[in-house]
Chains A and B, each alone.
Chain A
Amino acid sequence: DTGVSQDPRHKITKRGQNVTFRCDPISEHNRLYWYRQTLGQGPEFLTYFQNEAQLEKSRLLSDRFSAERPKGSFSTLEIQRTEQGDSAMYLCASSLVGRGPSVGREKLFFGSGTQLSVL
């Protein structure tokens, strides 16, 4: 499968613990996005990278959340001191962005997500 890969598929943790998720995008894709989705809601934007640069982070995102994409390939999303409200599906997506008028029109390819349950 050459699509977007996320690991782990499921994570159960106790409140207060730290968790880290990994996303491997499609290899030639330069943009990588993290979204969070709770039951009955659409995906909520968290942050995105172009190559290794983090271009935007949601203002709704707590300081407990941090994401990296050190070599412009895979990315990690870490949540420190997890809370029950962090329980959600964490989705990663990637895309190939060119220059000029096509920017913003690209197709996002999503992973299967990591389901986080905080007890």
Chain B
Amino acid sequence: AQRVTQPEKLLSVFKGAPVELKCNYSYSGSPELFWYVQYSRQRLQLLLRHISRESIKGFTADLNKGETSFHLKKPFAQEEDSAMYYCALTEGGKLIFGQGTELSVKP
């Protein structure tokens, strides 16, 4: 079975510091990977997907097939980035989610 691992339950940084949320996956083919985010009192929503090679709210994520990783990065964290972040991959027609990492950005 495919699997997504987010090793950190909580990541706490100060405003302006760089952020890296780790995601490792196991997949037998060519994975489609995503990052979803849930801000306080809001719905789970898509942040970015690797196929789009996009930068959203200053976040980027690079798929590293050799290391089977899809880490989420931002060079300068903002307080409004505080949220739960979930890495996910597509298996068949559905998404498989990791356990999530809570990002806390302190002033």
Contacts and interface: CB of A to CB of B under 8 A. Distances in A.
Interface of A: 3-4, 31, 33, 35, 40-45, 48, 50, 55-56, 91, 93, 97, 103-105, 107-112
Contacts of A45: 94-96
Contacts of A40: 9, 99-100
Contacts of B98: 42
A86 B43 CA distance: 21
A108 B95 contact: yes
Contacts of B93: 31, 48, 50, 55-56, 97, 103-104
Contacts of A56: 92-94
Nearest to B44: A110
A93 B97 CA distance: 14
B11 interface: no
B99 A42 contact: yes
Contact of B46 (A43, A97, A103, A108): A108
Interface of B: 4, 6, 9, 32, 36, 43-46, 49, 51, 86, 88, 90, 92-100
Contacts of A4: 43
A30 B76 CA distance: 39
Contacts of B99: 40-42
A33 B100 CA distance: 19
Contact of B86 (A43, A50, A105, A111): A43
A105 B94 contact: no
Contact of A105 (B4, B45, B51): B51
A105 B92 contact: no
B90 A104 contact: yes
A58 B88 CA distance: 17
A69 to B, nearest CB: 14
